[in-house]
Structure 1
Amino acid sequence: MKALKFTLPIIALMLLVSCSSVRVAADYDRQTNFNELKTYAFFKPGIDKAEISDLDKKRIMYAIDAEMAAKGFMKSENPDMLISIFTKEKERVDVYNNAGFGWGPYWGWGWGGYSNVTSHTEGSLYIDIIDAKKKELVWQGKGTGSLPETMDRKEERIREFVKQILSQYPPGSEK
């Protein structure tokens, strides 16, 4: 019984941490000199195509502005780079089968089990950085994780996605 009291909080904490994590990946053009890219603007045609609400687009752009400013980049009318976004989402279904041999008060000794099915929405946010002069994609970051069901955590979750993705930019700046 003591082991159960100890392990249940650990399992709950692991589930909480695994749900909140954002998996990130980045790819970039190795021929690009990222030290030359100091100013940015949003690429409106690309952002307009993102299949999310206008409110979420604003939340993402505010979060990008905050992260870029923290890295020392400046917004400009004549930018070195353009930033665009797009999103994907999918329903993730997990099936857990639990079976075993044991005793039950109504059925005695025997083999039994049950299945537990859970589903949640998993989303991916892509942030593209385009060289404004060449009009070429030079960096792309992707963050994938669970999306909140409620509005109260949505803004916080978006900031977390953007922060984790842009932690990979510029290349070589990862901590």
Structure 2
Amino acid sequence: MLKKSLLYLVTVSILAFLAGCSAGGPRVDYLPSFKKMALKTFAVEKSPDADIDPLNAERIAGAIEGNLRHKGYTSAVQPDFIARYDVSVVENVPSNVSFGFGIGSYGRHGGGSVGTSITPSRDRVAIRIDMVDPRTRKVFWSTSTQKSMPDFTTPESRRAFFNAVVYELLKPFPEAKR
């Protein structure tokens, strides 16, 4: 009986740990009038406040452009909307990982418990993409997320990371209307 309880406790602890590690999807917000807009062309611009090096800025801009083209939009000098991105790095974010283990008592027999808290820190990158009306300069659709920064070993791994993040961010953005 004790082995089953212990197995159950360990299984629940592992599932709780994994659930705590998973991140939610991107946050999306938009104006209600957005659904009526007939958008076909776009341009990409970096926010002047973006805190990112030039090479990663190019990777993000390329990922945004590729995703929007895949959705049927066309790049233009005088676009229907501007995809403006902003990036910032949040340094040394603790992971808030903890693990606990305990065993109860039965009759005269007792048990003990073990607990630990691991709080390693890891840089996170916050990425936001705003769709802006070029005439009014007002945002009509916005999405954002935060991701842990992996240890990049190659330029290709950086590009793959930013492609994946931008794909996740723009997934809810609708395809171009034909």
TM-score for both structures, normalised by structure 2: 0.71
Kept after mapping to 1: 8 A contact 2:31/2:140: yes
SS of residue in 2 equivalent to 1:52: coil
Larger relative strand fraction:
1
Contact 2:95 2:119 in 1 (8 A): yes
In structure 2, C-alpha distance between the alignment counterparts of 1:62 and 1:22, rounded to whole Å = 24
Root-mean-square deviation (CA, aligned residues, Å) is: 3.2
Shift of 1:112: 4.3
Deviates more, 1:61-70 or 1:27-36: 27-36
SS of the residue 1:43 aligns to: strand
Partner of 1:55: helix, strand, or coil? Answer: helix
Correspondence 1:170 to 2:171: no
Which amino acid in 1 is paired with 2:51? Answer: E
CA contact (8 A) 2:123 2:149 kept: yes
| Residue 93 (structure 1) shift | 2.6
- Equivalent residue, structure 1, for 2:162: 158
Q: Distance in 2 between matches of 1:161 and 1:22?
A: 12
**Counterparts of 2:97 and 2:69 in 1: how far apart (Å)?**
43
Secondary structure of the structure 2 residue equivalent to 1:121: strand
1:138 partnered with 2:140: yes
Instruction: Establish whether residue 62 from structure 1 lines up as the match of residue 66 from structure 2.
Output: no
- Percent identity among equivalent residues? 23
Q: Number of residue pairs matched? A: 155
Q: Which runs of 5+ in 1 are unaligned?
A: 103-108
SS in 2 for 1:36: coil
TM-aligned CA deviation for residue 80 of structure 1: 1.1
2:129 paired with 1:127: yes
Return 5+ residue gaps in structure 2 as ranges: 1-6, 105-109
The CA deviation at 1:95 is 3.4
What's the counterpart of residue 30 of structure 1?
32
Q: Give the letter aligned to residue 125 of structure 1.
A: I
1:115 alignment partner in structure 2: 116
